[in-house]
Amino acid sequence: MIDLNKIKAIDIHTHAEVSCNDPEDPIMGKFLDAASVYFKADRKRPTIPETIEYYREQQIAFVMFTVDMESGTGIKRIRNEEVAQFAIDNDDIMMAFASIDPHKSKFGAIEARRMIEDYGVKGFKFHPPIQNFHPNDPMAWPIYEVIAEYGLPAIFHTGHSGMGTGMKGGGGIRLKYGQPMMVDDVAVDFPDMKIILAHPSWPWTDESLSMALHKENVYIDLSGWSPKYFPKQVIADANSRLKHKMLFGSDFPLIKPDKWMEAAQTAGFREEVMPLIMKENAAKLLGLK
C-alpha cells in the first residue's frame, strides 16, 4: 500500500518497454530506435526492476503500463500479467494499468475483467494512433463497459506521437486517431469511467482543455513533453480553472521525472497548484485518499 506521507509525487505515466521474460520484438526495436532519436533518450531501456529501484530512490510512486498494439503493428506485446505482478510485489511504490488492443473487443473485455479481479490493476491504457482505432469505435465498447463497471480510470494517448516520428510513413501510425475530441463520445457514454487525456495534445491542445473543463470525468496528464515547451494555455488553465484536473506524468523512460520537475520550476506554474499536480489530484483519482 502506498503511503502518501512517504512519497513526494505520483507519476501517472510510465512505460514498460523491456520484458524480463521475452526478447525484444524486432519491429518494436525499430520504433525504439526512432523514439530514442526523437526524445534524445538512451536506447538501452531500463527493466521493470530497474525502474522500480529508480522510483523508490526518488520517493515517487508511479503507474506503469505496456501498450498492446498487436493488431495495428504486429508487435508482440509485453504481457499485462508481467507488469501487474511487479506492482503486486512492490505495492509501496508501483501501480499497474493494463493495456488491451481494442480490436480484441469482447475477447479483450474478458481479459480486462480478469486483470482487474485476479491482478488488481488500477486502470487501463489506450494509444489510438498505435492501436490503429478511433477511440469512439463501438468495437472498444465491451472493454470500456468493464472499466466503467469497476469505476477505474483509462489513459488515452492524445496529440502527436513521438513513436513513429522520423520513420518511413511514420511507421504506419496515423496521427488522426490522436485527436482528443474523438474521446468526447467515450466521456459522454461512460460517465463512470475517469478519462485521462495524455500529453498536452498538440496540435489539438485546446480540445483537451475544453473537454477537461466540460466533462466532470475528464483529466489531463502532463507527460511526454518538458514543461518548458508547454503551450501557454496549458499553464494558464493549470493555474486556474483546471487546477484539480491536471496530473503529473513523465513518459519515463523517454523523459525522467527529475528532469520534468526541474523544468516545471520555471514553466510558470503557481506554487500553490504544484502539490495538486504532483500528487494530490492523482491520489484522489486513483483512490489513494
pLDDT tens digit sequence for 222-241: 999 999 999 999 999 999 99
| Per-residue confidence band for 92, with pLDDT thresholds at 50, 70 and 90 | very high
Task: Return the C-alpha torsion angle 212, 127, 192, 281, nearest 10.
Answer: -50
* pTM value > 0.75: yes
DSSP for the chain reads ---GGG-SEEEEEEE----SSSPPPHHHHHHHHHHHHHHT--SSPPPHHHHHHHHHHHTEEEEEE----HHHH-PPPPPHHHHHHHHHHTTTTEEEEE---GGGHHHHHHHHHHHHHHH---EEEE-HHHHT--TT-GGGHHHHHHHHHTT--EEEE-S--STTTTSGGGGG--GGGG-GGGGHHHHHH-TTS-EEEES--TTSHHHHHHHHHH-TTEEEE--SS-GGG--HHHHHHHTTTTTTTEE----BTTS-HHHHHHHHTTTT--TTTHHIIIIIHHHHHTT--
Fold entry, domain 4-285: TIM Barrel (3.20.20)
CB atoms within 10 A of CB 166: 12
Provide the residue ranges of all domains of the chain, joining segments of one domain with +.
Answer: 4-285
Which of the residue ranges 51-55, 90-94, 168-172 would you say has the lowest mean pLDDT? 168-172
Encode pLDDT of 236-279 as tens digits.
999 999 999 999 999 999 999 999 999 999 999 999 999 999 99
- pLDDT tens-place string over residues 166-207: 889 988 889 999 999 999 999 999 999 999 999 999 999 999
Could you tell me which residue, 173 or 100, shows the higher pLDDT?
A: 100
The grid coordinates of residue 199 equal 500529453
